[in-house]
Every structure is written in structure tokens, then in C-alpha cells.
Amino acid sequence: MKAKIIINEHYPIGNIDRRIYGSFIEHLGRAVYGGIYEPTHKSADDCGFRRDVIELVRQIGVPVVRYPGGNFVSGYQWTDGTGERSKRPRRLDLAWKSIETNEIGIDEFQEWAKRVGSEVLMAVNLGTGTPQDAQNLLEYCNLDTDTHYAGMRRKNGFEKPFGIKTWCLGNEMDGHWQMGHKTAEEYGRIATETAKLMKWTDPSIELVACGSSNYDMKTFGEWEMTVLDHAYDYIDYLSLHQYYGNHTDNTADFLARSVHMDAFIKSVASICDAIKAKKHAKKSIYLSFDEWNVWFHSNGKKVEDWQIAPPILEDIYTLEDALLVGCMLITLQNNCDRVKIACLAQLVNVIAPIMTENGGKAWAQTIFYPYMYASVYGRGTALRPVVKCDGYQSSDGLQAPYLETAVIHNGDTRELIVFAVNRSLDEEIELDFAPCGFDGATLHRHVELYSDDIKQTNSAASQSVAPAEREVQDVPQLKKHSWNMLVYQY
């Protein structure tokens, strides 16, 4: 099949905020213990962090990491994870029915984030916690005053404040599964009061309020409107969360889910703008898509309760999953005028691009590759692509083009980076790329992620789904069910 992409130098969508390539580490399963931290591992550094994991995270170039949850944060007492380790309490984590040793807390995590070159996107507990607890944590992290919590940080060995810029006001507070679940009214009020205290403490911070836990929540829409009605003046971003799974083993339907993600983003942006108009506000609210991924392989796998770092939510991803992750990244890039932060949930072991064996190897899942290439090369200005190609309708009515694409202009390197997924399960795409205003643009590099078997996975022993450099052609061919990155230089 033939497809054409037309772009024009004068038609930008917006500049990509590098934080759309963020990720997430929750105290959940083996994300922290056995994931980023394993002091007995042969690659452990002086803090007990696994160097092999640090190396893989650095390869991706993760600009921001959300921490410490997720559902976990809604019962978390942050003071448990600070100060002398031998005195830290063991607690029941009701979110995941696990035991939390508190060996890692904010003191250690901000050090790990520095070592991988990421900022921390810190979530506060608005489930069982209070506005005062959140404000105390902010003082501990960001202030240099001669006061209790700033002094506690200094006493714990951190003279300089951590300087955490962006904060999430709780997590999925609309969900009945959340500790301290709230109605939109209740959450709107506590988010506003917490935001006030936090911004009075450190006016330089930015705040993310909870949107709905996913598009299918019965309260979706109403929740956003009520929360924004309360908190509009105090917050900077509204969150979106969404996971997809191939529950019916229908690849065509599954690969169309990013069209749903696009509609979800546009709906939330419209709600933000409606409240902006209603309030006669000047500022706009931006979006933080701070949990997104494919998640379904591990559903229903039972793990014994009350273990330390049990192997939960350890989805092993196929090429098919990597294609949808590629399409979702393209969707984030093409909505970069509105989405300023996004977090692939999560980063290590828990629904993650990076897996580890306790005491053994660290390895890259299939989804690692589209994420890594987007983060490393997808920086600059997203141009509005006009795409001419055939498409199909999914069984739930989504119109999906066979070619999903984003085109990023990097003025520094004089490159146009085309991310392209061919959703067709049986036909190659012959690609005609028409860049207006970029005289002499020529294809310089073609990276492809492909396997004949769309259900192929990777493992600690083999990287069966790994990117390959293809020979550069005048008219590039995008294989059936493949992910591609084309680099044009001008």
C-alpha cells in the first residue's frame, strides 16, 4: 500500500516538552527493591543502586520520574522513609498488600534520580494524609530555612534542598480502590487547600491535580469540571491515566487504541478550556499524562499477600505491545501543545520497559525501544503531519489509519525525525515523504523494530525483538506490523 506524509515548516503543533518522556517508580512489587535497588547485586554502587539498571535508564534518557506512587502514596507516611535506616518502621502497604521496609525513601530516591539524570515528580498523600503533611514534605525537600523539616533534612545529611519542582496532589482519588477515595467535591476542596499551603511555602513549584483514573470512569467529565471549579487558580496541570490491553486477542482493535487516547486527551483539554472560559481565566491548564502503558498480561496472576517486594504486575511485552506503545508515544508528540508531562508507567519490573532478575541480569523489553528512540530523538518541534493513507474501523468504532506518524523538527541538528508505525497486519507501506520548506531533505537513517511473529517477546536470555538499521532507500518501505524511525537531514 502507498502512503504519503506532508509537512510544512510553517505548520508546527508545538515544542516538545522533554518531560513527555517521563516515567514512574512506585513502591510496588520489585520496582524499588530488586529493581533500582539491590545492595547485594554485583553491579551495586556505593548506595546499593544497580548500575546495570542505571545504565539502561540512562540509555532512554528519562527526564522526569514520578515517585513514590501510584496507589501506594495514598497511605504513605513520608517520614517513615527518612533518617537513620535502622530506625525506619516496617509497614503494611494496603494498596498492594505487601510489606514496605522503608529502606528507600525520599532521601535515597532523589539521589538515585540524580544518578540517572532525572528530575523527581513527587506525589503527596491526599488519601490518608493531610495538607499539613504535604506542606511538611515540601519544606523538607525544598526549603533552606531554619525550621523543623528543613533542619531535619540537614540533620539527615542533605545540606542543600532537593529542589523538587513539580508535585502531584494525590493519586487517582476518584477510584474506589484508593485509600481515602474522595468525591470530586471532597477532592476539589482538599487539593485546593493543599495547593494553597504548598504554594505559600514554595511559590516556584508547579502542581498537578488528579483527573480521572481513566476515560471509562463513570464520573469522568463531571470529576474534571468539579475539581477544576475548585482548584483552577492554584494548579498548573490536570492528570490523565490510561492503560490498554489486548483482552480479546484482536490485534487490529488493540492497535487502534491510541486513537482512543488521542480523543481522551482532546476531551480533557476541552474541559479545561470550558472551565477557563467560565472563570474568565487568563491562564490555561496543561495536561500531565502521568500514567500510560499497555497493562494486561499479568492480570489475574495471584501473588501471596504481605511479602516484601513480590513479583507483581510483571507483564512480559510482545512486539504487538511495542507497536501500541509506539503509537501512544506518537499521540503524545502530536498533542505536545497541551501535554507537557507524561509518564510511561512504570520503569522497572512493574509493567516496565526494563526488567531485572534478582541477583542476575537487567534486560530490555520490546517496549523499551520505541520509548528510548522517542526520548532520545523526539526532541524539538512537532510538525502537523497531513497523512494520506488507507485505514480501518475497529470493532468499537475507532477510525485508525494504517500509518500512524509524528514528525519532529530538530533545528539544532537540521534533522526531521519521522516516527512511523505500520498497523497493517499483512501489507508493507511504501512511504512518500513530502517535507515542504526543507530543501534537500534526504533520508539518512532508517531504524526498524520488527519480527515476523507479532507475539514475539524478549527475555533475559534473548533480545529477539531489537531495533535494526535498514538500508536507506529513496522510497522507504515500512514492513507490515512494524515500528520505524526515519531520520532526514536537510
Task: List interacting residues with ligand AHR (CB under 6 A).
Answer: 26, 69-71, 171-172, 291, 345-346
Under a CB-based contact definition with an 8 Å cutoff, are residues 25 and 388 in contact?
A: no
In the complex, what is the shortest distance from the CB of residue 346 to ligand AHR, in angstroms, rounded to a whole number? 6
Nearer to ligand AHR by Cβ, of 62 and 408: the residue is 62
Alpha-carbon distance 310 to 358, whole Å? 11
Nearer to ligand AHR by Cβ, of 309 and 431: the residue is 309
Under a CB-based contact definition with an 8 Å cutoff, are residues 324 and 330 in contact?
A: no
Whole-number Cα distances in Å, 249 to 397, 418, 454, 457: 17, 29, 12, 16
Alpha-carbon distance 167 to 68, whole Å? 11
Burial class (CB in 10 A: 0-12, 13-18, 19+), 371: buried
38, 291, 320, 404: the active-site residue: 291
In the complex, what is the shortest distance from the CB of residue 171 to ligand AHR, in angstroms, rounded to a whole number? 5
Burial class (CB in 10 A: 0-12, 13-18, 19+), 392: middle
**Residue 438: closest CA among 405, 475, 410:** 410
Under a CB-based contact definition with an 8 Å cutoff, are residues 126 and 188 in contact?
A: no
Query: Catalytic residue at 172?
Result: yes
The residue type found at 123 is A
Nearer to ligand AHR by Cβ, of 139 and 291: the residue is 291
Helix (H, G, I), strand (E, B) or coil at 21: helix
CA torsion sign for 128, 130, 136, 137 is positive
Nearer to ligand AHR by Cβ, of 96 and 377: the residue is 96
Nearer to ligand AHR by Cβ, of 236 and 291: the residue is 291
Nearer to ligand AHR by Cβ, of 264 and 438: the residue is 264
Residue nearest ligand AHR (C-beta atom) = 70
Instruction: State the cell numbers at 238.
Output: 490536570
Ramachandran area for residue 181 (φ above 0: left; ψ -120 to 50: alpha; else beta)? beta
Under a CB-based contact definition with an 8 Å cutoff, are residues 235 and 209 in contact?
A: yes
Element (DSSP H or E) covering residue 468: strand 468-470
Instruction: State the cell numbers at 123.
Output: 506525589
- CB-CB neighbours of 88 under 10 Å: 18
Q: Which residues have C-beta within 8 Å of that of residue 351, sequence separation ≥ 6?
A: 243, 293, 294, 295, 298, 313, 314, 315, 345
Alpha-carbon distance 45 to 232, whole Å? 44
Nearer to ligand AHR by Cβ, of 69 and 105: the residue is 69
Q: Which residues have C-beta within 8 Å of that of residue 172, sequence separation ≥ 6?
A: 71, 178, 210, 213, 241
In the complex, what is the shortest distance from the CB of residue 28 to ligand AHR, in angstroms, rounded to a whole number? 6
In the complex, what is the shortest distance from the CB of residue 281 to ligand AHR, in angstroms, rounded to a whole number? 28
Nearer to ligand AHR by Cβ, of 295 and 450: the residue is 295
Nearer to ligand AHR by Cβ, of 213 and 333: the residue is 213
In the complex, what is the shortest distance from the CB of residue 348 to ligand AHR, in angstroms, rounded to a whole number? 12
Query: Catalytic residue at 222?
Result: no
26, 38, 100, 172: the active-site residue: 172
DSSP letters spanning 374-433: HHHH--SEEE--EEE--EEE-TTS-EEESEEEEEEEETTTTEEEEEEEE--SS--EEEEE
Catalytic residues, which ones? 172, 291
